[in-house]
Structure 1
Amino acid sequence: MNAPISSTWWVRLGQLAGLTALALLCAFDLRYGLASGMGVVDALRALLQVGLAAATAVVWLPVHRPESRALPIAALALGAVSLTVTAGFLLLGTSGAYLLGGTWGLAESAGMIAVVFVVTRFGAARFAPGAAVVAALAAAALPLRAGADLVYVIFGLLQALGAVGAAAAGIYLRVVASGRERAIALVRAEQRAEFARDLHDFIAHHVTGIVVQAQGARFVAEQDPQRVIVALEQIERAGAETMASMRRMVGVLRNPDARPDAPLAPLAGVADLAPLLEGHNGTTNAPARLYVDGPLDGLPVEVSTSAYRVVMEGLTNARQHASDARSVAVSVRRTPDWLLVRVADDGAGPRTTPARGHGFGLVGLTERVRALDGTVTAGPGVSGGWVLDAAFPLRAAVTR
């Protein structure tokens, strides 16, 4: 699913803030590096430091994908160049005590610490530690360009602590993101396994029916040939639905994350929505009402069970997240080509976070609906409250 618009705006604002801070520090470096009375060497040094600061922005500014291999390489190269420049200043004797008359490159220092954060957060695990260490060493060594006095050593230690803090923050966010990805993968695997079990039960049911109808057709063939034709039509229809379901089940089980060894669970479909709503109404102050438009008999079983799961998830969300809701409307509408399901509550207050579940219910539901080429959306309603919509194609469920 695409990232929310609000998240994109936060990223853009963060990039803008980082660039603004880097530009101010670069202006500070240039102001004191090119001050009147400074020599040509100091002016060139100031320009070089600003150039290196701009190079750090090339590394930390873009939005990187997790486990990026190019990011550690870029950070390693940048840290090595910065350390080489620092060593050159020390060897050539161009460093000096000028704490108030110039800088050692504050913009480059901030940029290098940002590089440490980015590489520990998004860099490939195999190369990120080494690249982060080199970048942190480069940040710690930068004050030595101004001299080897104790004050610059202290500043170097402070920048080293800043780099360590940036690395710790990057590692923490990396662990959090990794845990969330594993949780999402587990939810999807469990949903695939549940869907595959439903399809297995459905296939077994239809195959049994086909066998029974074929045996019955043998006995009535000589007495009533017309009934044989009806039986063959029923066998053909059941066989087509079974073949389509078998294809979907094979596709689900081919996924390496699926868990076919999970315990069996009974099937529940749209015919069981009334008991589901009764159970919900007995545990909440927001009664749910069911509205049905169109016949619900003859639905493919996988569509029926998935629609049931949509309603169940919608009722669970309303009970957990909309404590101020007064009613929940459950609508099931059937058209010639679609089965449309909607669960809408009238809660007006802000959504609360449940103590358990971590918000992964919708992830698993989306996985299940998409397996049937359907769509599912969730968000605020036009007139308030929260709306969960799902659409299941009916023709594709049979002909695919």
Structure 2
Amino acid sequence: MMERLDAWGRRAAQTVALAGMALLGILDVLSGGIFVLGGDAALLVALWHVALAVAAAAVWLPTHRQGSRLLPVAAAVVVAGSLVTTFGRLLLTRHPDLPGPWDVRSVSSFWGLAESVGLLGVVFVVARRAAPGPALVLVAATGLAVSVLPLRVATTGVYPIIAMGYALLAAGSATAGMYFRMAASARERQLDTVRAEQRAEFARDLHDFIAHHVTGIVVQAQGARYVAERDPQRAVAALEQIERAGTETMTAMRRMVGVLRGQDAAPDAPLAPLAGLTELPELVENFSAAGEVGAHLHTEGHLDGLPVEVTSSAYRVVMEALTNVRQHATGARRVEVHVTRTPDWLLVRVGDDGRGQRPGRTRERPGFGLVGLTERVGALGGRLAAGPGVDGGWVVDMALPVDAGRSR
């Protein structure tokens, strides 16, 4: 749902920007253009300037991926067209006797407002999205194209001063693009760190889980060896338990190794005992005792016999949701934790009755803790979502298949 809203917001912003560019283009045409041509050439020049503005908008209106190869090419074409137009105008001004139907007479102080705005947008997008090498060259070239636009009218008087103002605007646009580029890069590095930490946590869980079951297998195997001659039936029962434990262990290994594949988990990461659904009452009780917000746990269905990675993931989701309530919820007095087991799913919902986010917090933007848990839950075939509740407050929902990954 949030992704749809973001997509609609981008489309609305693109529509508004395109409408604004169209209005500026109409203003340019109605103002008489930058120079007047004899005969039918005037219409062609007007259309050419409108085409430059539309081409510039076509460069920065779409959503470009980082390091796009198409973006530098499109920007270079637009910048080249703008510079050729400007220097062509300067050439005709200095040599009005050149052959052709040119009647170079300035009739307006407009030099192309739509094109100016379009090129400033190109500067921003190139600085934000283009690969570092092409971005450096194109930002300089586009800044030059923007700066010399006012000189299409005249090279004396106030126009050189306006050109310097345009140069400052271009520098500001490039700075803004670089700022957003670095902010996005920093957040991506943080996300990578969170994912690496989550994979390391998977490795610790895998170690603890395998150690627990393998130890049980060894003990049962030793016992079966001693009772095999005296009580064969007990030996058969022990072998069946060993088979079940081995199957469950292999299933968990396939799930977790699938997440860890291609990543280096920290071999010396500290090992901690696993916490699961049986520890939830203590977690909720400790949360209520530590502050003014009361938490209440509601369970439905049989919660026994679930895979350890399912129960540990559910525990971590509840723990992260309660932590976010403590840090972000404004005016919250009550938190409801619902854990429900259906025949096929384990469902967890944590919702508070807060009024919104605290000042300086961005609750609508998922925190890094939920980012890591989303990857963990997704790796097990489940889903995790967080957002405003229908009746207010904030809700975290998780759904995990109770036989997560058994078919893998």
- Provide the TM-score with structure 2 as the length reference: 0.90
Moved more, 282-291 or 381-390: 381-390
Matched residue, 1:105 = 112
Quote the Cα distance in structure 2 between the aligned partners of 1:277 and 1:200. 27
Conserved? CA contact 2:72–2:130, under 8 Å:
yes
Conserved? CA contact 2:328–2:361, under 8 Å:
no
Within the alignment, does 1:374 sit opposite 2:382 as a pair? yes
Matched residue, 1:350 = 356
Alignment: residue pair count = 397
Q: 1:260 to 1:127 in 2, by over 3 A?
A: farther
Quote the Cα distance in structure 2 between the aligned partners of 1:36 and 1:97. 6
Matched residue, 1:154 = 161
Conserved? CA contact 2:35–2:104, under 8 Å:
no
Q: Does the residue aligned with 2:158 lie in a helix, a strand or coil?
A: helix
Matched residue, 1:132 = 139
Conserved? CA contact 1:269–1:304, under 8 Å:
yes
Matched residue, 2:75 = 75
Q: 1:75 to 1:369 in 2, by over 3 A?
A: same
Which of the residues 221, 225, 243 maps onto 1:236? 243
Per-residue deviation at 1:4? 3.6
Q: 1:332 to 1:43 in 2, by over 3 A?
A: closer
Matched residue, 2:99 = none
1:328-343 equivalent positions in 2, closer than 5 A: 328-343=335-350
Q: Does the residue aligned with 1:116 lie in a helix, a strand or coil?
A: helix
Quote the Cα distance in structure 2 between the aligned partners of 1:107 and 1:289. 59
Quote the Cα distance in structure 1 between the aligned partners of 2:8 and 2:87. 41
Conserved? CA contact 2:36–2:42, under 8 Å:
no
Matched residue, 1:182 = 189
Conserved? CA contact 2:36–2:105, under 8 Å:
no
1:1-400 equivalent positions in 2, closer than 5 A: 4-33=3-32, 39-40=38-39, 42-93=42-93, 98=106, 101=108, 103-256=110-263, 258-347=265-354, 349-352=355-358, 359-400=367-408
Conserved? CA contact 2:34–2:153, under 8 Å:
no
Moved more, 64-73 or 245-254: 245-254
Quote the Cα distance in structure 2 between the aligned partners of 1:174 and 1:131. 16
Conserved? CA contact 1:73–1:131, under 8 Å:
no
Quote the Cα distance in structure 1 between the aligned partners of 2:332 and 2:387. 15
Quote the Cα distance in structure 1 between the aligned partners of 2:268 and 2:57. 50
Residues 90-113 of structure 1: per-residue CA shift (max 9 Å, x gap): 223369673x63532221111111
Per-residue deviation at 1:341? 1.6
Per-residue deviation at 1:158? 1.4
Quote the Cα distance in structure 1 between the aligned partners of 2:155 and 2:161. 10
Per-residue deviation at 1:197? 0.9
Conserved? CA contact 1:33–1:45, under 8 Å:
no
Conserved? CA contact 1:76–1:132, under 8 Å:
no
Quote the Cα distance in structure 1 between the aligned partners of 2:116 and 2:42. 18
Quote the Cα distance in structure 2 between the aligned partners of 1:355 and 1:177. 18
Per-residue deviation at 1:213? 0.9
Residues 337-380 of structure 1: per-residue CA shift (max 9 Å, x gap): 22222212222x12226769982221111111112111112223
Residues 228-259 of structure 1: per-residue CA shift (max 9 Å, x gap): 12111111111111111111232222233654
Q: Does the residue aligned with 2:133 lie in a helix, a strand or coil?
A: coil
Q: Does the residue aligned with 2:332 lie in a helix, a strand or coil?
A: coil
Q: 1:211 to 1:182 in 2, by over 3 A?
A: same
Conserved? CA contact 1:329–1:343, under 8 Å:
yes
Residues 292-331 of structure 1: per-residue CA shift (max 9 Å, x gap): 2233232211111111101101211222222422222222
Q: 1:356 to 1:48 in 2, by over 3 A?
A: closer
Q: Does the residue aligned with 2:132 lie in a helix, a strand or coil?
A: coil
AA aligned to 1:359 is G
Quote the Cα distance in structure 1 between the aligned partners of 2:110 and 2:264. 55
Q: 1:79 to 1:230 in 2, by over 3 A?
A: same
Quote the Cα distance in structure 1 between the aligned partners of 2:109 and 2:157. 17
Q: 1:4 to 1:352 in 2, by over 3 A?
A: farther
Quote the Cα distance in structure 1 between the aligned partners of 2:260 and 2:147. 52
Conserved? CA contact 1:341–1:391, under 8 Å:
yes
User: % of aligned pairs identical?
Assistant: 56
Quote the Cα distance in structure 1 between the aligned partners of 2:318 and 2:33. 69
AA aligned to 1:363 is V
Per-residue deviation at 1:24? 1.8
Conserved? CA contact 2:25–2:50, under 8 Å:
yes
Quote the Cα distance in structure 1 between the aligned partners of 2:170 and 2:347. 53
Residues 130-154 of structure 1: per-residue CA shift (max 9 Å, x gap): 1111111111122222222132222
Q: Does the residue aligned with 2:143 lie in a helix, a strand or coil?
A: helix
Per-residue deviation at 1:78? 1.4
Moved more, 233-242 or 287-296: 287-296
Quote the Cα distance in structure 1 between the aligned partners of 2:209 and 2:233. 28
Per-residue deviation at 1:204? 1.4
AA aligned to 2:300 is D
Quote the Cα distance in structure 2 between the aligned partners of 1:391 and 1:32. 61
Quote the Cα distance in structure 2 between the aligned partners of 1:139 and 1:166. 11
Q: 1:229 to 1:161 in 2, by over 3 A?
A: same
Q: What are the ranges of 5 or more consecutive residues in structure 2 without an aligned counterpart?
A: 97-102
